[in-house]
Structure 1
């Protein structure tokens, strides 16, 4: 069930030229189709003109046919829907850590990039996985995973929290993750 996005080198940047997108996380193909990398990532904090955008540009430029690369990207939702064109928990109410502990799902995208041999285009794939936060209680490394997610959460800027749609809930989510860590000790 991987989504497929084809990026082609243009005069100035890579552009989105073809895609099969069924399970977006915080974006719409209609809005992004034909756009350059910088246009696609407009509104993503710390991307355009910053380290992350420059790093992605370098990866695209240096990507070799026989050496695909991958990365993970996470977000939080209160359901297991695969189709999520709007980010995060904007309209949700999570006032208690116990409620967040029971309702939250970690959505992880495994993203790959590979250069196609004949065209030189870059194929970007996205596979979505999601698990309830409380499933970390059953995982042998659940406490460490919960603390690592909490560290990432607390390391986000206000703009990044807002982009992920979790700004209003960050402290409650951190407390819910502490509950997992405490249970696993």
Structure 2
């Protein structure tokens, strides 16, 4: 959703993490919707703007890439590529690396002659040559390599039988779901647990929209939840590490600093050669104490949390602390 408003002059002194944050609410109420818009569209918020590029690189780049490496070393099941998705993995790499080079020409470059490619990433002092289609020309193959270059999680949906199937991906920063569990499921099965979307026909409409995407088309949407702590990996597999915090954060005096609004910017791309649907999921965290520095954000999030129906709050895992968070925001 696009937010167009005049900015408060004081926002010029806000740190970059706030000015570039993709705040997802245009009103004081939230309900599920497809909320799809064209990619690369600049979105102006009350604090700044976001959205002009496909791959966003920020101050957390090196830290998040390092986190991903640690997670994959501990749990290799966070990446899977079913055999028939091999070409789609290469299609993904050959689509995203040139896009990064175009968005960051001072830092990155991509050159291709036939299937031979050369990639330079100045942020990593990295120069790599590889051959498209030859898995052993890149460490771990194309998807594994891509995970060392971008902060986004990657989901690949194959199209067959008039629906989409999650048959490949690299997901280390899941928000209360399990990539490994969902591999092999179709689009409707994956979204089955989400309340209200079936009754309101949201998933079926989203499915029709995605199936109609043409090769090369790029769209995006936002999604949100909340997370205790500066933690991107809130996957089902690691629930014992972060789940108990949900029960105690409401009474924690440090709640404004510990409780984060988590926003996902999800890019939806029909890959040009394989026809597979690529979902890029880029996750951002901002604590309530930072949200409160933008008065319009503080008010909107406070009202959204107060008004959100219980079934939606339960599904998002915020029902035990959303009242405390709302009251703190609206008391500001």
Global fold match (TM > 0.5) = yes
Which residue is 2:309 aligned to?
A: 157
Query: Contact 1:97 / 1:176 at 8 angstroms: preserved in 2?
Result: no
- The residue number in structure 1 matching 2:298 is 146
Q: CA–CA distance in 1 between the matches of 2:292 and 2:253? A: 14
The worse-fitting range, judged by mean Cα deviation, of 24-33 and 144-153 is 144-153
Deviations 1:85-123 (A, max 9, x none): 148866432344854323211111111100011221110
1:131 corresponds to 2:283:
no
Distance 1:109 1:137, change over 3 A: same
Equivalent pairs, count: 177
1:94 aligns with 2:246: no
**Residue among 180, 201, 204 paired with 1:30:** 180
Corresponding residue number in structure 1 for 2:195: 45
Out of 118, 135, 156, the residue aligned to residue 6 of structure 1 is 156
Moved more, 62-71 or 26-35: 62-71
Unmatched runs of 5 consecutive residues or more in structure 2:
1-150
Determine which structure has greater relative contact order: mean sequence separation of CA pairs < 8 Å that are 6+ residues apart, divided by chain length. Answer: 1
Secondary structure of the corresponding residue to residue 167 of structure 1: coil
Instruction: Tell me the distance in 1 between the aligned counterparts of 2:181 and 2:199.
Output: 21
Q: What's the offset of the Cα at 1:160?
A: 0.8
Aligned counterpart for 2:277 among listed residues 109, 119, 122: 122
Structure 2-normalised TM-score? 0.49
Contact persistence 2:305–2:323 (CA under 8 A): no
2:227 alignment partner, one of 77, 81, 99: 77
CA RMSD, 1 decimal: 2.1
Q: Deviations over 1:55-76 (max 9, x none)?
A: 3112212223343111111111
8 Å CA contact 2:249–2:259 kept in 1: the answer is: no
* 2:215 aligned residue: 65
Change (3 A) 1:15 1:158: same
Unmatched segments (≥5 aa) in structure 1:
none
Greater Rg over alpha carbons, structure: 2
CA distance in 2, matches of 1:151, 1:63: 35
- Partner SS state of residue 168, structure 1: coil
- Name the SS of the counterpart of 2:275 in structure 1: coil
CA contact (8 A) 1:24 1:85 kept: yes
